Structure 1
Amino acid sequence: MSDRTALHTAVDRLAGRLRSLPQRRLQGGAAAEALELARWLAVQAETLEFPDRAPHRMPNDGMFIVGDQLAVAGHDLAMALGSVEPDRAAAVVTEALERVARAAKNIG
């Protein structure tokens, strides 16, 4: 499995878990943690794709949307990794996978 595929899989798994969480769990911190991760993933993707432009800040569109935001940001990053040199891509994907794993553990 490639690193990009591993990132897709990890992000999709966590996004699916977020979509199925009850409101009280989302309000209890799961949505905030997922949004923070989605924002980090989005910044990484934009930085790779548009290095001469400041990245946009992903909006907080609500706790019921954060799973979708996470999936989109993770998929965008996986796509962007294909356009950079392998060493840089490896470093970014390694950190991304670590952050996704940490968030998944914290979210439960």
Structure 2
Amino acid sequence: MLDTTELTTAVDRFADRLRVAPQSRLQRGAAAEGLALARELALRAQRLEAPGRPPRTLPDAGVFTVADQLVVACNDLAEILRTAPPTPPLRRELDEAVAAVRRAAATATL
């Protein structure tokens, strides 16, 4: 069982920043950064959960929903990682997801 606290905490922080950002900042790229990250996390979750099935793309539901989409995608990935037997590839998947969150949070102009 992998501890996904670092991942969920980082996403929660980023999502909170997105939720309080003014619309103008969201429209200037912060929402796009959040959506790209949510899509990446959703893709990772789908590849782990159903490796042979083609992944679906998380829709763009607007700048005001990005934070919630990000949290949902993160929670899906975290649950898969928590419930799977811990293996080196899953540990690497978790580490890469955490790194992706940190990069997105650092580059988003909030």
* TM-score normalized with structure 2 length: 0.91
State the partner residue of 1:59: 59
State the partner residue of 1:90: 91
Q: Which has the higher contact order (CA 8 A, sep 6+)?
A: 2
Contact between 1:39 and 1:58, CA under 8 Å: does it hold in 2? yes
After the TM superposition, which of the residue ranges 82-91 and 24-33 deviates more from structure 2?
Answer: 82-91
Q: Deviations over 1:15-52 (max 9, x none)?
A: 11101100000001000011011000000001101112
Runs (4+) of structure 1 exceeding 2 A deviation are none
State the partner residue of 1:15: 15
State the partner residue of 1:80: 80
Counterpart check, 1:103 vs 2:107: no
Show the 5 A alignment for 1:19-58: 19-58=19-58
- Structure 2: distance between partners of 1:86 and 1:74: 19
Taking structure 1 as reference, are residues 84 and 61 closer, same or farther at Cα in structure 2, changes over 3 Å only?
farther
Unaligned 5+ segments in structure 2 are none
Q: CA RMSD in A?
A: 1.3
- Structure 2: distance between partners of 1:88 and 1:49: 14
* TM-score normalized with structure 1 length: 0.93
Q: Percent identity?
A: 50
